[in-house]
Amino acid sequence: MPFLRSALTPLVCAALAAAAAASPKDRMREIEQDADAAREHAAIAFKVEAGTTIQFRTDLKDQGDVFVSRSLIEVTGRGALGDRAALSVTVGFEPTFYDFRNAPGLIPGTNDPISDVYLFDVSPRFTMAINEEWSWFAGLDARVAGESDARFGDAFTIGGYAGASQKVNENFTYSFGVYAVQRMEDDALVVPIIGFDWKINDDLRFESIGTGLKLTSAINDTLEVAALGYWDRREYRLDRNHSQLPNGVFREQRVPVGVQLAWKPDPAVRVTLEGGAVVWQEYRVLNSNGNRLNKQETDPAPYISLNAVFRF
């Protein structure tokens, strides 16, 4: 039985039942937390995140339309190693449902180029605190992404990153480094890591979130409101028995811009409701040799998401 179907399908029910948003990785904040855990010799701690995002139906530029539903369940463990080191490991599962209608412009011969896809990833990260100000970090992102009958080897990609972080003071931290990742049927993608976290005052915070920015204002001790925007990308291996494009590659790039309301009833619980618009989105399809067949942009699409995080 193909790997994706046998290993990932049992997790679908749990992920779809979760209520939260598949939001961009808040890597800057995570690196800070790893460094603090190393400095403080923290005991093992866990974080569980779950969510769902709905992108409402929107038109493709040429012909047809698409609706997207995406869920997430993710577990992270973090703990100190020795004197000034910390290790964190994140395991995540993200199923996505695409509902294309009358969209022959992506894969010739079909109006429905892709439907259900699954992404499973494991991301370990090692952090070493050099002193109270500087730390360095290195990590891996290993993932399998594709339709249920995609071969494991064809759907597997791996990336890695390394860099350093400086805690200038209690209100400002920045990081820099490099990230490199394989792409299906294409050259590796290499991008710089540039991150920061600036606590402007007790109520206002400006920070990087993965490949985007976020400005947060505290309403009171339990409520926050934020404006955010980011670039996001995913790619999936098509089934080896796909009717029109066996072992092909489906790619998605998008830029959501939105407003987020966060509720923190307890230091260990955070629930966020987010809404906005995907202001730019592009789908690309490649064959198994890496040749691009087609690409399609969509009109701007409204989206809404709900996210819950539990720490213990």
Nearest-CA neighbor of 88 among 32, 5, 130, 155?
32
CB of 40 closer than 8 Å to CB of 80: yes
CB-based burial, 127-148: b 16+ in 10 Å, e otherwise: bbbeeeeebbbebebebbbbbb
Q: Is there a contact between 12 and 302 (Cβ–Cβ < 8 Å)? A: no
Domain residue limits at 54: 3-311
For residue 3, what pLDDT is reported?
44
Per-residue pLDDT of the chain (312 residues; tens, 9 = 90+): 344 444 433 333 333 333 333 344 566 678 777 878 777 777 789 999 999 999 999 999 989 999 999 999 999 999 988 888 999 999 999 999 999 999 998 998 888 889 899 999 999 999 999 999 999 999 999 999 999 999 999 999 999 999 999 999 999 999 999 999 999 999 999 999 899 999 999 999 999 998 899 999 999 999 999 999 999 999 999 999 887 899 999 999 999 999 999 999 999 999 999 999 999 999 999 999 888 889 999 999 999 999 999 999
Residue 15: the pLDDT is: 32
- DSSP code of 239? P
pLDDT of residue 81: 87
Q: What is the pLDDT of residue 266?
A: 95
Q: Which residue has the tokens 């720490």?
A: 311
CATH number of residue 114's parent domain: 2.40.160
Write down the pLDDT at residue 242. Answer: 83
CA separation, residue 83 to residues 33, 114, 120, 125, 132 (Å): 16, 49, 32, 17, 13
Residue 208: which residues within 8 A CB-CB, separation 6 or more?
Answer: 28, 194, 195, 196, 197, 214
Supply the pLDDT for residue 47. Answer: 94
- pLDDT for 19 equals 31
Site of tokens 């995570």: 30
Q: How far is CA 139 from the centre of its chain?
A: 15
pLDDT for position 28? 65
Burial 255-288 (b: 16+ CB within 10 A, else e): bbbbebebebeeeeebbbbbbbbbebbebbbbbb
Tokens (6 digits) for 167: 């805690």
| d(C-alpha 237, C-alpha 148), whole Å | 9
Total domains, the chain: 1
